[in-house]
Each structure stands twice: as C-alpha cells, then as structure tokens.
Amino acid sequence: MALAGSVRTVRVLGLDPGLRHMGWGVIDVAGNRLTHVADGTINTNEKQDLATRLTTLHDGIMEVIRLWQPDEAAVEETLSNKNPSSTLKLGMARGIALLSAAKAGLPVEQYLPMLVKKSVVGTGHAEKEQVQHMVKMLLPGFQRSTADAADALAVAICHAHHAQTRRKVDLAVLGVRV
C-alpha cells in the first residue's frame, strides 16, 4: 500500500464474460492516470462441447494473467435475459472468469453493467457505442479491437475508480493522510 505522497501503479485486468467471446483488457492505474496496456478477446468454437469451451476460456484467461501480470481483477456481473439457457451458459463463463482470476491469486471485484456504464460514461443507461467512445477517450492510444475488449476495458476503468476510493478510505482508517 502506498504512503502519502507516493503513487503506486496498480495493474488491473477487466473481464467481460461471454461463452462465445470473452473480452479482456489490462490497464495501469497510477493515481488518477489510466494507461492502456493490452486488450483482446478469447474466442471459443461453438461446435465444441461446453466443457471444452469453458476450458478454452480458463486457459485463455490464465495466459493473459501470465503475460500481463495484473495486480487485481474486475469482472462484469451478468444479468438474466429472456433465454434461461443463454443466461445459464453466460453464468458459467462468468464463473470461469472469477475462478481463473482467484486461482491466480488476484483479488477479484464484480460490477453490475449499469455501474460500469455510469463510471465510464456518466449514466447507467448508456449505449454500447457511448461506452466504447469513452473508453477510447479515457485511454489514449487504445484502438478499438473488438466490442468485447472495449467492454472489458470499461470494467477495468470502473474498478480503477472504485478501488482507488476504497484504498483512500482504508488509508484514512489507518490514519495516513491522503
């Protein structure tokens, strides 16, 4: 934990769960400064069985963690939709995201989609295009690779804002001036 006057860089992995396409994004956070590090999508083959697809997601997340060495992870929570089968499969993909990050020893936080949108755009009912535009504005140098990767970066940005506040509160409780 950083002492007053020093700024520690924290590397955050954001994950946007999906069974077909799981977006991931890595940012560095130093105080109020956000820096794009990397992003991408882990894709599965729809023709494969569910267990194989979940294994592909797990292996892909573990490779991202190995390559980019994040300090923390953030995963978007999933909401139910009209198709119960799709909701269940999406929940399984989310479970893989949570499990993989936790097994790698990362602290993992979860954020509702409305909170992610509000943190990045300023309104919880923003359209996907607005979120992607703001991610590009907040992370200079980011060139949108896929919508899933941009969504994952939005999750990482949301976490950066909320975790920074949490760290300040923790330091204040310890009596450290921030």
What pLDDT sits at residue 171? 55
Q: Which of 28, 39, 72, 148 is catalytic?
A: 148
More confident residue, 123 or 67: 67
Task: Tell me: is residue 16 an annotated ligand-binding position.
Answer: yes
Each residue's pLDDT tens digit, 24-73: 999 999 988 999 999 999 999 999 999 999 999 999 999 999 999 999 99
Residue type, 67: L
Mean pLDDT of 98-127: 95
Query: One of 16, 28, 39, 72 is an active-site residue; which one?
Result: 16
Quote the crossing angle between the two packed helices 128-138 and 113-120, to the nearest 10°. Answer: 50
Q: Which residues contact 135 (CB under 8 A, 6 or more apart)?
A: 120, 142, 144, 150, 153, 154, 157
pLDDT at 175 over 90: no
Predicted local distance difference test score (pLDDT) of residue 108: 98
Rounded Cα gap, residues 54 and 15, in angstroms: 15
> What one-letter code names the amino acid at 36?
H
**Sequence spans of domains, the chain:** 9-174
Q: Is 76 a catalytic residue?
A: yes
127 flagged as catalytic: no
pLDDT of residue 125: 87
Confirm whether residue 170 is marked as ligand binding: no
Reduced to 3 states (helix: H, G, I; strand: E, B; else coil), residue 41 is strand
The catalytically annotated residue of 28, 39, 72, 76 is 76
**Share of the chain residues as helix, strand and coil, in percent rounded to the nearest 5:** 50, 20, 30
Q: Residue 2: its pLDDT value, please?
A: 47
Q: What is the pTM of this model?
A: 0.90
Mean pLDDT score, 122-132: 89
The answer to the question of whether 76 is labelled as a binding residue is yes
CA–CA separation, 145 and 167 (whole Å): 31
Could you confirm whether domain 9-174 is CATH 3.40.50.300? Answer: no
b/e string for 30-42 if b means 16 or more Cβ within 10 A?
A: eeeebebbbbbbb
Confidence of residue 1 (pLDDT cuts 50, 70, 90): very low
Alpha-carbon distance of 115 to 32, in angstroms, equals 19
pLDDT of amino acid 165:
65
